[in-house]
């Protein structure tokens, strides 16, 4: 399918869309987390690009400065930054996603500073007080972008960006709807490529391609030769090859709770409210990651609902090594799902795809425990 | 220690304590046995009282609230609750290697490992699974200083099903011109603390007593003043106290903050230090090396500091928890009291230095090294402690470049000797001191 091929081209960093954007002498700003509202960056006519570290194969600098017991994603990012692999970015926006990302930002500032740097303090729980705080943070961020890049971000710019991003979210949900079918027209590997492209290419172009994909997918013959329907849950995963390992063994990934998946797009921003208030509300209240300390019951409900709606046979939890938040979350979720008789598998991994042989053995053994379709 | 005084605790130890207090009672009896041969001292009495008070609270129906090591108990005392600082377990059990069975249980049930989640909290999960930790009625924690804490408290909440309240500590962007990030920070924390009070009122069906709160804050600030004076006294060369005195102040504030006990005890530690300064007496005879220890103690090795003192004439001025650096404030109005409570929340030991960007930790360390005329820095960091470990190298470079003294960074687990044993840690420190510092 044309659209899928284009999305596969758009997933890596850099890619032809970013190159094209830069040729127009427009700015590109990297950001680290799905809690950072990329709408605000986009409203400044700056391309927001979610920072990833694909292509990193070793981390001597990361190990030395962040310790070998810090997650490999952050070590890889520091590594690539010190090797000037992010030079296409005109700036970086980070937040307190977790201790490792906040310390990565510190190390970046000291060892590989970007021309523009901004940090957002994002609350760890949801209440009127914390939403108000976050709105204040977003207004400071907006002002900082305006001053640093000499742009004006009007409410209308923000509303337009919110509409464009909401359109992406709506289209992505339609794409996920197709995955509820017995023979989904799109695999989990392909779906991840779509989301990855969404955080790297200009949003209007992404929406056009996504609309085209929906048409093409509807005409495509669905996947039926799989053994089980899998939900993939866990920490930062941006490697479609990881999903492919599971799918090559007969486990069709039909939905997820990933920050390059449902947690990125599931919830809409209110288009009728004050834009910054609406963004603050949506980003704090969205399907959360375990950084939100009061969100576990809602996260469990989300996973349960997804299992039911997507007719999931088994859940694969994947957790990046040294990630405390996801260890705790998976520990709780696994126990709760087990009580309900949902088969689950826990996998630990490094950011760079490695140990595929061992992973295959475990996934294969898990598949054999699942009811064959 | 006076015979009568000791007997009082011995008799309490012979009473029947609730079944979930088995480990708690073992710890109490252990401390009592250690205290018995020594002369009386009010600090030991405070520790023993803490064990007794929690057990008594349960037996008498007073609500127990569990809170972490980085939050003072004052608001809980003001609300007539019995605070229980969770990390008393991991810290108190470590020297007797009694953490290890709980860590093993935690491993067996699949919650975390040493380099991922800190063992300051993880033994709680094993102890909870075994039914050997006092079940609190309420649970409170903060989003800071680390994800390990926030994660383990969430897991504990989920396992024990205890009503829980969580306060978000805003992250700090670096702006040296602003003491508290921006104009909203204080109001943000105060609002959450007021929400905490409303939640406590609802959970305990008690009305918040404004006068009692004000009195609590007066006591709290009197104690803070004593601690700050004590901190200043430690700038003297030789240091007037040994390596453990500031740790005592931390324990007083985290276990008894907001009570007359804390005022009395901090006055006692301050007066002791002041008397020694006046007489020119050093806490470590023939002091030769002054160490900054910007991390926690190696809790399983209680003899580490005495060993350093004896073998190297080295005094550790303050560890990071002992660095309780909250000034006293005006408490004349209820608003001022809340402001003081919020500042104490933001600046509590380890929160103040670690809730923000690297500069907050580095600035603290540089200031400390200069103010306390330190000769070297030793950082024995827990493997899972991302928020410190991931900036330790930056901090050490800053110290070397700006002050020119050496820094030792060494990984370990302060709560479990099996990861890096005492001999290895001491070997690394001895090598550092003899080959580089001396």
Taking an 8 Å Cβ-Cβ cutoff, which residues of chain B contact chain A? 110-112, 115-117, 141, 143, 146-148, 150-155, 158, 166, 168, 170-173, 181-182, 184, 188, 191-192, 195, 357-358, 381, 383-384, 386-387, 389-394, 411
Residue B82 has φ and ψ, to the nearest 5°, of: -100, 110
Q: What percent of chain B has pLDDT over 90?
A: 91
Do B147 and A140 count as a contact with CB atoms less than 8 A apart?
no
Does the pLDDT at position A182 exceed 70? yes
* Interface predicted TM-score (ipTM): 0.96
Does a structural domain hold residue A77? yes
**Which 8-state DSSP code applies to residue B21?**
G
- The DSSP H or E segment spanning B407 is strand B407-412
Domain residue spans in chain B? 62-437
Q: What is the pLDDT of residue A1?
A: 84
Residue B134, SS3?
coil
Domain contains A131: yes
What is the percentage of chain A residues whose pLDDT exceeds 70?
Answer: 100
Cα angle A233, A237, A242 (rounded to 5 degrees) comes to 90
Min mean pLDDT across A313-322, B25-34, B275-284 is at: B25-34
Q: What percent of chain B has pLDDT over 70?
A: 98
Query: Half-sphere exposure (CA, 13 Å, Cβ side) for B227?
Result: 30
Concatenated DSSP letters of A336-361:
HHHHTT--EEEEEE-SS---HHHHHH
At B180, the pLDDT band (50, 70, 90 cuts) reads: low
How many other C-beta atoms are found inside a 10 Å radius of the C-beta of residue B175? Answer: 12
A88: nearest Cα among A33, A146, A30, A3:
A30
The stretch B250-255 carries a mean pLDDT of: 98
What pLDDT sits at residue B184? 87
CB contact under 8 A, B357 and A74: no
Chain A closest-CA separation from residue B235 CA (Å): 30
Q: Which residues of A touch B141 (CB under 8 A)?
A: 293
Taking the C-alpha atoms of residue B364 and residue B48, their distance in angstroms, rounded to an integer, is 33
pTM of the predicted protein model: 0.96
Helix or strand (DSSP H, E) at A138:
helix A128-149
Indicate yes or no: CB of B173 within 8 angstroms of CB of A121.
yes
User: The tokens of B56 are what?
Assistant: 């008594």
Q: What is the mean pLDDT of chain A?
A: 96
Look at residue B284 and tell me whether its pLDDT is greater than 90: yes
Mean pLDDT value across residues A192-197? 96
Q: Does the beta-carbon distance from A291 to B115 stay under 8 Å?
A: no
Report the distance separating Cα A355 and Cα A209, nearest Å: 34
Average pLDDT over residues A133-154: 97
The reported pLDDT for the residue numbered B5 is 78
In three-state secondary structure terms, A131 is: helix
Q: How many beta-carbon pairs below 8 A join chains A and B?
A: 143
Q: Which residues of B touch A331 (CB under 8 A)?
A: 110-112, 155
Nearest-neighbour CA in chain B from A261: distance (Å): 23
Q: What integer pLDDT is reported at residue A12 of this predicted model? A: 83
Q: Is A124 in Cβ contact with B150 (below 8 Å)?
A: yes
Q: Mind listing the pLDDT tens digit for each residue in B194-234?
A: 999 999 999 999 999 999 999 999 999 999 999 999 999 99
Between B236 and A218, the higher pLDDT residue:
B236
Q: Taking Cα atoms as reference points, which of B113, B115, B137 lies closest to residue B125?
A: B113
Taking CB atoms and an 8 Å cutoff, what residues of chain B touch A74? 390
H-helix or E-strand containing A315?
strand A314-320
Q: Which domain holds residue A97?
A: 20-155
Residues of A in contact with B386 (CB under 8 A): 67, 69-70, 98-100, 103, 322, 324
Measured in whole angstroms, how far is the alpha carbon of residue B136 from the centre of its chain? 20
Compare all CA atoms of chain B with the CA of A109 and give the residue at the minimum distance.
Answer: B358
pLDDT-derived band at B1 (thresholds 50, 70, 90) equals: very low
Taking CB atoms and an 8 Å cutoff, what residues of chain B touch A127? Answer: 192, 195
pLDDT band at B67; cut points 50, 70, 90: very high
Q: pLDDT tens, A146-179?
A: 999 999 999 999 999 999 999 999 999 999 999 9
B123 neighbors B102 (Cβ within 8 angstroms): yes
Q: Is the pLDDT of residue A253 over 70?
A: yes
Secondary structure (H, E, C), A72-111: HHHHHHHHHHHCCCCCCCCEEEEECCCHHHHHHHHHHHHH
Asked if the Cβ–Cβ distance from A96 to B171 is below 8 Å, we say: yes
Contact between B115 and A322 under an 8 Å Cβ cutoff? The reply is yes
Of B147, B394, B411, the CB nearest to A106: B394
pLDDT tens figures, A11-69? 888 899 999 999 999 999 999 999 999 999 999 999 999 999 999 999 999 999 999 99
Asked if A130 and B168 come within 8 Å (Cβ–Cβ), the reply is yes
Give pLDDT tens digits for B12-47: 999 999 999 999 999 999 999 988 888 888 999 999
Name which CATH class applies to B62-437.
alpha beta
**What pLDDT, on a 0 to 100 scale, did the predictor assign at position B176?**
73
Structure-derived torsion over alpha carbons of residues A71, B297, B148, B368, reported in degrees to the nearest 10: -80
Nearest of A264, A276, A288 to residue A40 by alpha carbon: A276
Query: H helices of B169-209, where?
Result: 185-204
Q: Are the C-beta atoms of residues A191 and A258 closer than 8 Å to each other?
A: no
Q: What is the pLDDT of residue B39?
A: 83
**Beta carbons of B408 and B428 less than 8 angstroms apart:** yes
Cβ proximity of B24 and B17 under 8 Å: yes
Residue B3 confidence class, pLDDT cut points 50, 70, 90: low
Of A104-108, A273-277, B4-8, where does mean pLDDT reach its minimum? B4-8
Q: Is the pLDDT of residue A307 over 70?
A: yes
Mean per-residue pLDDT, A124-142: 96
Given this model, what pLDDT does residue A248 score?
Answer: 98
User: How much is the average pLDDT of B95-112?
Assistant: 95
Q: Tell me the chain B residues in contact with residue A107 when contact means C-beta distances shorter than 8 Å.
A: 358, 390-391, 394
Q: For residues B361 and B347, give the distance between their C-alpha atoms in angstroms, rounded to a whole number.
A: 12
Q: pLDDT at position A10, please? A: 85
Sheet architecture: strand order including B164-167: B82-85, B64-67, B138-142, B164-167
Contacts of A138 (CB under 8 A, 6+ apart): A37, A40, A120, A276, A279, A280
| Contact predicate B325/B250, CB 8 Å | no
Q: Are B324 and B249 in contact, with CB atoms under 8 Å apart?
A: yes
Averaged pLDDT for residues A196-222: 95
DSSP state of A118: E
Rounded CA-CA distance A184/A25 in Å is 41
Residue B54 has pLDDT above 80, yes or no: yes
Instruction: Provide the 8-state DSSP code for B240.
Output: S
How far apart CA A292 and CA A314 sit, in angstroms, is 25
pLDDT band, residue B10 (cuts 50/70/90): very high
């Amino acid at each position: 399918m044309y659209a899928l091929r284009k999305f596969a081209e758009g997933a890596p960093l850099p890619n032809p869309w970013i190159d094209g954007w830069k040729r127009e002498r427009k700015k590109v700003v990297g950001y680290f987390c799905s809690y950072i509202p990329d709408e605000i960056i986009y409203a400044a006519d700056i391309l927001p690009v979610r920072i990833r570290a694909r292509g990193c194969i070793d981390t001597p600098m990361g190990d030395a400065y962040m310790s070998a017991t810090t997650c490999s994603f952050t070590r890889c990012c520091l590594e690539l930054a010190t090797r000037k692999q992010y030079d296409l970015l005109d700036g970086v926006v980070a937040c307190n996603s977790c201790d490792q990302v906040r310390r990565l930002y510190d190390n970046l500032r000291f060892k590989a500073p970007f021309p523009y740097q901004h940090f957002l303090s994002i609350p760890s729980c949801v209440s009127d007080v914390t939403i108000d705080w976050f709105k204040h943070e977003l207004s400071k961020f907006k002002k900082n972008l305006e001053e640093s890049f000499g742009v004006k971000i009007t409410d209308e710019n923000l509303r337009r960006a919110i509409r464009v991003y909401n359109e992406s979210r709506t289209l992505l949900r339609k794409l996920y709807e197709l995955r509820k079918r017995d023979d989904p027209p799109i695999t989990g590997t392909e779906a991840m490529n779509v989301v990855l492209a969404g955080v790297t290419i200009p949003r209007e172009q992404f929406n056009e391609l996504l609309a085209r994909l929906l048409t093409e997918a509807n005409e495509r013959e669905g996947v039926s030769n799989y053994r089980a329907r899998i939900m993939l849950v866990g920490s930062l995963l941006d490697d479609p090859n990881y999903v492919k390992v599971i799918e090559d063994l007969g486990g069709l990934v039909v939905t997820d709770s990933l920050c390059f998946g449902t947690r990125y797009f599931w919830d809409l921003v209110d288009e009728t409210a004050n834009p910054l208030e609406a963004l603050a509300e949506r980003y704090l209240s969205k399907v959360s990651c375990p950084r939100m300390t009061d969100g576990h019951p809602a996260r469990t409900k989300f996973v349960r609902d997804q299992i039911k709606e997507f007719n999931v046979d088994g859940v694969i939890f994947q957790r990046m090594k040294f990630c405390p938040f996801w260890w705790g979350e998976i520990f709780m979720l696994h126990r709760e799902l087990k009580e309900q008789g949902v088969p689950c598998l826990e996998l630990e991994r490094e950011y760079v795809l490695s140990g595929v042989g061992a992973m295959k053995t475990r996934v294969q053994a898990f598949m054999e425990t699942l009811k064959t379709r | 220690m006076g015979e009568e005084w000791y007997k009082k605790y011995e008799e309490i130890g012979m009473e029947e304590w609730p079944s979930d207090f088995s480990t708690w009672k073992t710890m109490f009896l252990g401390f009592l046995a250690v205290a018995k041969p020594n002369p009386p001292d009010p600090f030991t009495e405070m520790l023993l009282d803490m064990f007794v008070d929690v057990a008594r609270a349960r037996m008498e129906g007073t609500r127990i609230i569990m809170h972490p090591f980085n939050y003072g108990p004052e608001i809980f005392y003001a609300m007539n609750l019995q605070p229980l600082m969770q990390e008393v377990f991991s810290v108190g059990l470590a020297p007797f290697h009694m953490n290890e069975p709980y860590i093993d249980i935690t491993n067996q049930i699949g919650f975390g490992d040493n380099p991922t989640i800190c063992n300051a909290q993880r033994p709680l999960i094993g102890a909870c699974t075994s039914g050997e930790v006092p079940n609190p009625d309420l649970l409170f924690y903060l989003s800071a200083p680390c994800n390990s804490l926030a994660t383990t408290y969430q897991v504990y909440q989920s396992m024990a099903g205890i009503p829980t309240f969580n306060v978000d500590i805003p992250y700090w962007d670096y702006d040296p011109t602003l003491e508290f990030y921006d104009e909203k920070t204080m109001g943000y924390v105060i609002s959450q603390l007021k929400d905490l009070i409303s939640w406590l009122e609802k959970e305990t069906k008690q009305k918040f007593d404004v006068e009692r709160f004000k009195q609590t804050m007066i006591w709290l600030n009197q104690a803070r003043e004593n601690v700050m004076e004590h901190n200043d006294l430690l700038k003297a060369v030789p240091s007037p106290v040994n390596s453990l005195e500031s740790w005592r102040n931390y324990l007083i504030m985290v276990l008894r903050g907001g009570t007359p006990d804390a005022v009395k005890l901090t006055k006692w530690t301050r007066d002791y230090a002041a008397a020694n300064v006046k007489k020119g007496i050093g806490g470590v005879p023939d002091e030769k090396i002054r160490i900054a220890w910007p991390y926690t103690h190696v809790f399983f090795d209680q003899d580490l500091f005495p060993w350093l003192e004896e073998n190297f004439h080295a005094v550790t001025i303050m560890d990071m928890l002992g660095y309780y650096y909250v000034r006293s404030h005006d408490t004349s109005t209820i608003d001022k009291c809340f402001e003081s409570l919020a500042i104490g929340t933001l600046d509590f030991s380890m929160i103040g230095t670690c809730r923000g960007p690297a500069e907050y930790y580095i600035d603290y360390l540089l200031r400390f090294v200069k103010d306390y005329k330190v000769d070297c820095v030793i950082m024995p960091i827990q493997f899972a402690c991302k928020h410190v470990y991931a900036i330790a190298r930056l901090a050490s470079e800053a110290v070397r470049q700006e002050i020119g003294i050496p820094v030792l960074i060494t990984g370990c687990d302060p709560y479990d000797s099996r990861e890096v044993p005492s001999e290895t840690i001491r070997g690394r420190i001895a090598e550092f001191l003899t080959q580089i510092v001396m």
